[in-house]
Amino acid sequence: MVECPECGAEFDAGAVEVGEIIVCPDCGVDLEVLTVDPVTVGQAPEEGEDWGE
Amino acid sequence: MTISHFINDPLTEDSDIRLGVLVSHLRMEEKLILEAGRRRGLAITPIFDRKIVLDLSNLSGTAASSFPYDVVLDRSVAHSRALYSLKSFEAWGIPTLNRSTATQICDDKALCSLALGSANVPTPRTLLAYSIESALEACALLGYPAVLKPVTGSWGRLLAKVNGPDQAKALLEQKVSLGSYQHALFYVQEYQEKPGRDIRVFVVGDRVLAASYRSADHWITNTARGASSSKCPITPQIEDIVLNACQAVGARLAGVDLIETYDGYTVLEVNTGGEFHGLMTTTDVDIAGEIVEEAMRIARASAMRRLETTTAAGD
């Protein structure tokens, strides 16, 4: 189980990779996967002005 | 892995190929690319842009050895990081899928418009102005409504359709107040009616892989803004204009956005970091797999050139 650093909700992140962005199912905040064994997450980086595709 | 491996291996086995994928974080597209590489047995590694240090004063193999890749694919969402990284990789002799020049052009709407216009690729009439007064003049020249876009950025952010001079002036003043100099580069484009949709076309190498309509009630038809995707047939006209657009900017991998106008297709932009999550829902083409295959071709071609150079030097 993963704990959301924003709202404290615990949820199953499933099969994820380091660097992947996931969404907290409770509060909807974007989270970045920091480690996978065990899975830990932090708040996703803020979108920069020059970000895009 | 040694430098001699880097120089002399012809990369005959897939497992010999070391593919680095420059990323800011992993989106669906990057996960699929990593999976496609692993399925083929490649040594494929994400390179997180915020973790790297680029030695700009060292152009020898020592700097390159910190990045032991036969080819690098740029999938960073941060345009500035992508540009400097690609420039560095090129300086160190590491091949990349899109060259830095293509990324530099496509990540700057003004440069992209210039490149498309210079190659006679149909694109909306666009004016660039540096002051509020001249930007208002540009809007008047194009006629209202006009579209204001930031020269950098993506995903439909900060796009505005202005319907008259009062609205335009208020918006331009707001843009200036945002502070950074890019917001005072006023990219003004004619507004073109479209049939509630645009077209995203994905190109890898010199092939058009797939196309999808992106439909929305809003005038911005970007999947990042909630547009829905449906299959679009690839016609010879689409193929021609899209490949010409890619050639104009030097892109080997791109998501090209088109609109249908009364005069035919018009290119809105070419995205070297093109997303394809929407497109994927409308096609059976394995886009991630095709990207990896292209990376493998580039790695092998580059390795072969190095080998020939080394052999010739030894003759």
Question: Which domains occur in chain A, in start order?
Answer: 2-43 (2.20.28.160)
Contacts of B180 in chain A (CB under 8 A): 49
Ranges in chain A, pLDDT < 70: none
Long-range contact pairs involving B100-104 (C-beta distance under 8 Å, separation at least 24) = B101/B250, B102/B249, B102/B250, B102/B251, B102/B252, B102/B254, B102/B272, B103/B74, B103/B79, B103/B272, B103/B273
pLDDT for B24: 95
Say whether A21 and B152 touch across the interface (CB within 8 A): no
Say whether B79 and A45 touch across the interface (CB within 8 A): no
Ranges in chain B, pLDDT < 50: 1-4
Burial class (CB in 10 A: 0-12, 13-18, 19+), B236: exposed
A vs B: CB pairs below 8 A: 58
- What pTM did the predictor assign? 0.91
Say whether B152 and A48 touch across the interface (CB within 8 A): no
Chain A nearest CA to B272, separation (Å): 7
Spatial separation of the C-alpha atoms in residues A47 and B267, rounded to whole Å: 26
Which of A17, A20, A50 is opposite residue B79, by nearest beta carbon? Answer: A50
Chain B nearest CA to A7, separation (Å): 22
pLDDT for B3: 46
pLDDT for B1: 46
Chain A nearest CA to B93, separation (Å): 25
pLDDT for B6: 53
pLDDT for B4: 42
pLDDT by residue (tens digit) across B106-127?
A: 999 999 999 999 999 999 999 9
Enumerate helices (H) and strands (E) in chain B, giving the number of each: 11, 12
pLDDT for B305: 84
pLDDT by residue (tens digit) across B181-211?
A: 888 999 999 999 888 999 999 999 999 999 9
Contact between residue B167 and residue B153 where contact means Cβ atoms under 8 Å apart: no
Query: CB of B37 within 8 Å of any CB in chain A?
Result: no
Which of B27, B46, B78 is opposite residue A50, by nearest beta carbon? Answer: B78
3-state secondary structure A24-51: CCCCCCEEEEEEECCEEEEECCCCCCCE
Contacts of A19 in chain B (CB under 8 A): 23, 25-26, 46, 48
Over chain B, what is the mean pLDDT? 92
The 8-class DSSP code of residue B181 comes to G
Query: CB of A51 within 8 Å of any CB in chain B?
Result: yes
pLDDT for B315: 66
Query: CB of B225 within 8 Å of any CB in chain A?
Result: no
